[in-house]
Amino acid sequence: MSQSYEVIFENNKKWVESKLAEDPEFFHELAKTQHPDYLYIGCSDSRATAEELMGAKPGEVFVYRNIANVVNTLDMSSTAVIQYAVEHLKVKHIIVCGHYNCGGVKAAMTPQDLGLLNPWLRTIRDVYRLHQVELDSIQDENKRYDRLVELNVQEQCINVIKMACVQERYILEEYPIVHGWVFDLRTGKIIDLEIDFEKILKDIQKIYNLTSSDWVMSRKTN
């Protein structure tokens, strides 16, 4: 155990050396500030690391991860991250990224008491409830879980769009745009679910209009 722990510091040393070899000013510039275009909301699963699967460099992606990439507006951790990214970092894109073979999604469908995880997983169980007819019609269990992963991403995107800070900034600047992705562990590929951000936003505004302005999107649709 101690040997594997020490390897981390050896790897860090090699990483620092490689960065300095590429650019002697790399860390000097990195320490100044950050201007990421992306907020990535993903799962804590150790196999789905945001920067690596995106091919991103330090400073390019603002990252928030939890079990099963849940965005619960009662959870101050996720809402604080989103508000900071939107209002202060001025990110242009918010990505909610799930992944196939997600342990959190599978646990949510396990009919047993999971202790402190119960309230967290309830959000995913609610996704199943909302889409139960479609999911129950899928006979293959693995395909059913895959579809639940996709639907969970979709519903978490909706939760992001419900937030006032996202709606207000989009009115002013036409950013950020919310995207839904799934990372396929079996192939290594990112799948864009092609969430129709503008349509969802218009539908949400009928109930969750948290701005003081009329919703006008003719500039982009005409």
Q: Which residues are catalytic?
A: 43, 45, 47, 99, 102
Q: Which of 96, 47, 92, 49 is nearest to 69 (CA)?
A: 96
Place of tokens 């990421």: 36
Q: Distance (Å, rounded) from C-alpha 148 to C-alpha 127?
A: 8
User: What are the tokens at 133?
Assistant: 């007819």
Q: Distance (Å, rounded) from C-alpha 158 to C-alpha 155?
A: 5
